[in-house]
A and B are shown apart, each in its own frame.
Chain A
């Protein structure tokens, strides 16, 4: 499965909607993670907050290719995407192991991913550089086998996402 996760509506038509899911997070109701550790210690693999996030993190886990589209704020994901990524921690265990010599949570059944992260709205090269470092950190925590970080203006965003999604159709 392949997944396009966006923080804004995108005018996209995918050839194979069974294999490629497109989710507009801005259209979903997703509450903030409350840091209760319930998904690790009470109901492992299942978030105790039963809102739209519970339909998204299983798709994140299953997908072997992802495109994440997010506005950039202070060098990180803006609130819509960040809220979802925080709510995706049921895909991990509480337990820690070493990844490239560094401590990280053990992943449950999370497919290794080819990830394309598209950020828009960065104020300049320094903010872009920080966002790139963030995605490098994410790669270890989110099971990215490979990743690309791309930047776009809002005007060119849809055409860039289409171009990246078209590569899936071609492969």
Chain B
């Protein structure tokens, strides 16, 4: 059995859903965890060489990799460890369709191909902003368990999950979620729906 390092590439790593997903992963198998910041790239690059598996946990951001992760991968390309672990991906997006994550997964796979890293397992989560606080949490937890086992056993595979809801119901639930979110700041749904964008 190898050693696993989870790196959180979310722009809001300490408060992120990616952190919660990483926590579920660590409930299933032993792994170390670290968050990518602007200043710790070189330290993390050196650390990756101590592990057999690297799990990148991050959200889909503007259809691709968050800049936080992109910049880290560029440093990893420039300063690779002597022993390169296998790279797996644990990605979530707020949309119901887990498949919206495909492009970002392909970007990590391309990084691996271009730089001689092995590519491992993938878990794509749809509805990832909310699923852990819904009755469908068990689906996310179950998928993470399978994903974690595949990394641990080095039987790499692709997995996906989302909330099993009709899209119309997802849109309603999502609207309710964001409306409640705005209420925390005394912002009404109508205010959140403003069409105005600040002017230059």
Contact = CB atoms under 8 A, between A and B. Distances in A.
Given A91-B197, A93-B192, A94-B192, A41 B103 contact: no
B17 to A, nearest CB: 10
A73 B200 contact: no
B39 interface: no
Interface string B98-141: 00100100111011001000000000000000000000000000
A85 B171 contact: no
Interface stretch (A6-14, A76-84, A148-156, A157-165): A76-84
B10 A35 contact: yes
B178 A102 contact: no
B26 interface: no
A127 B62 contact: no
Contact of A44 (B67, B73, B191): B191
Given A74-B111, A82-B62, A103-B167, A32 B198 contact: no
Interface string A108-148: 11100000000000010011001001100110010000000
Contact of B100 (A76, A82, A95, A102): A102
Interface of A: 32-37, 40-42, 44-46, 54-55, 57-59, 61, 73-79, 82-83, 85-86, 88-91, 93-98, 101-104, 106, 108-110, 123, 126-127, 130, 133-134, 137-138, 141
Contacts, number: 154
Contacts of A88: 62
A40 B106 contact: no
B67 A86 contact: yes
Contact of A133 (B73, B103, B174): B103
A104 B95 contact: yes
A124 to B, nearest CB: 10
Given A44-B187, A45-B194, A73 B74 contact: yes
Nearest to B102: A133
Interface of B: 10-12, 16, 38, 59, 61-68, 70-71, 73-74, 94-97, 100, 103, 106-108, 110-111, 114, 167, 170-171, 174-175, 178, 181-182, 184-185, 187, 191-200
B198 A83 contact: no
B63 A95 contact: no
A74 B68 contact: no
A86 to B, nearest CB: 5
B144 to A, nearest CB: 21
A101 B185 CA distance: 32
A138 B178 contact: no
B107 A138 contact: no
Nearest to B71: A79
